Amino acid sequence: MNQLDILVPFALPPAELARDLLRQSKAPSLAMLLGRGKATPLQSHDPFSRALPHEHWLARRFGLPPTPQDSSPAAAAALMQGLGHAPAAGHWFVLHPAHIHVARDHLVLTDIGQLQLEEEESQRLFAAALPLFTEIGHELVYGDARTWFIRADAWAGLRTSTPSAASGRNVDIWMPEGPGELAWRKLQNEVQMQWFAEALNEQREMRGQKAINSIWIWGGADAGASASAQHGYGARFGLRGWMRAFGDGAQAGQANANESQVNDILRGDGHRLLVLDALAEAALAEEWGLWLQHLEHLDREWLAPLLVALRADTLGAVNLVLTGSDRLVEVAVTRGALRRFWRKPSLALLAERCA
């Protein structure tokens, strides 16, 4: 069947804000899809889970191996492969250069997507940190400006949190626990001290950017733990950030969709995946006015032309996967469902609470 799954992280705003936000929202294409489609029961997720609902969904969909109880998805090896590395052995973790700031009485992790870290800057920080890893026998591998990897065989079983799950929150709750916990904290502190003296951070702050003053670890996986080939997707679009672990599908732009990009998504038959993550940065920063703007832009630039394709039978079916910080819902829409004129377009589903 010619089907497109559309994953939209952070489409479900916090329940206490949702109704007020949606009263201000203008997203007619999304309202049509939600109003006419068939929704699964709203799924509740633990708000203190070490990964967000869309991250759990992707890990299951792409068959990442099981992780220790309540740990982040085992994405490191698959992501290394997506960035051109092929670890032959060992247990690996993802590392992100990060910014942690002091709130009134605790430390808070900033969304790594906001850091605007350039390649040359990241290479300098990597070179400064490398001797600290080498000295204690840990291999450190450079992936890209935002993504490095550490081999730590003795830390297998360490429970870690994704940066999205921890962003904007008290980091003490989300810090690693288990084998290697103390060794990690010691290494993290040494890197923080090393970078404190880096002129690079002073230069960043003079430009109004946040200092890179820490590192974040997650995604532990054995070297052979790649994503499953049985996910069923013939093509994947919009795989950015750590989602590159799930293949090098066409990187659909997240801002301005154009006719060519939409046609690439619609071309051919089979089951495809499109990830639209334009809401993530605003949601993690709790900038809900900006979130509304991005929702309306997403509706106009992406969902409107895809709705036209569904009506024209270019698409056989659309499955929307909408998530928030602690909820997930799937909505199946077919061309026939759009004929249900007695069902009014509505965004009410975005404000529903779990029973």
Specify the residue for token string 């203008």. 26
**pLDDT at residue 103 in the model:** 77
Structure tokens of 75?
């994405």
More confident residue, 104 or 354: 104
Identify the burial level of 231 via C-beta atoms within 10 angstroms of its C-beta, where 0-12 means exposed, 13-18 middle and 19 or more buried: middle
pLDDT range class, residue 67, cuts 50, 70, 90: confident
pLDDT range class, residue 253, cuts 50, 70, 90: very low
CB 234 within 8 A of CB 119: no
**pLDDT at residue 73 in the model:** 94
Is the confidence at residue 231, as pLDDT, over 80?
no
CB 350 within 8 A of CB 11: yes
Distances in Å between the Cα of 67 and the Cα atoms of 20, 76, 85, 169, 219 are 38, 12, 22, 23, 9
**pLDDT at residue 257 in the model:** 52
The mean per-residue pLDDT over the stretch 115-125 comes to 94
Strands 91-98 and 147-151: antiparallel
Percent of the chain with pLDDT over 90: 63
**304-311 and 259-266 helices cross at what angle (nearest 10)?**
50
CB 239 within 8 A of CB 275: yes
**pLDDT at residue 88 in the model:** 86
Q: H or E stretch including 222?
A: strand 214-222
pLDDT per residue over 338-355, tens digit each?
888 888 999 988 888 765
**28-36 and 304-311 helices cross at what angle (nearest 10)?**
40
Q: H/E/C letters for each residue in 278-337?
A: CCHHHHHCCCHHHHHHHHHHHHHHHHHHHHHHHHCCCCCEEEEEEECCCEEEEEEEECCH
Is the confidence at residue 323, as pLDDT, over 70?
yes
Residue of 28, 108, 43, 54 lying closest to 296 (CA atoms): 28
Identify the burial level of 16 via C-beta atoms within 10 angstroms of its C-beta, where 0-12 means exposed, 13-18 middle and 19 or more buried: exposed
Is the confidence at residue 180, as pLDDT, over 70?
yes
Residue 230 has phi, psi (to 5 degrees) of -95, 20
**pLDDT at residue 167 in the model:** 92
The mean per-residue pLDDT over the stretch 245-254 comes to 55
More confident residue, 290 or 86: 290
pLDDT range class, residue 228, cuts 50, 70, 90: low
Average pLDDT, the chain: 89
pLDDT range class, residue 179, cuts 50, 70, 90: very high
Distance CA 67, CA 282 (A): 29
Helices within 68-170 (DSSP H only): 76-82, 119-135, 163-166
CB 179 within 8 A of CB 155: yes
Distances in Å between the Cα of 240 and the Cα atoms of 122, 154, 254, 266 are 18, 30, 10, 20
Is the confidence at residue 249, as pLDDT, over 50?
no
pLDDT range class, residue 102, cuts 50, 70, 90: confident
Residue of 125, 150, 300 lying closest to 217 (CA atoms): 150
pLDDT per residue over 25-41, tens digit each?
999 999 999 999 999 99
Is the confidence at residue 193, as pLDDT, over 50?
yes
Structure tokens of 131?
């001797």
For 337, half-sphere exposure in the C-beta direction (CA atoms, 13 angstrom radius) is 20
**pLDDT at residue 352 in the model:** 83
Residue 41 has phi, psi (to 5 degrees) of -60, 140
The mean per-residue pLDDT over the stretch 87-109 comes to 91
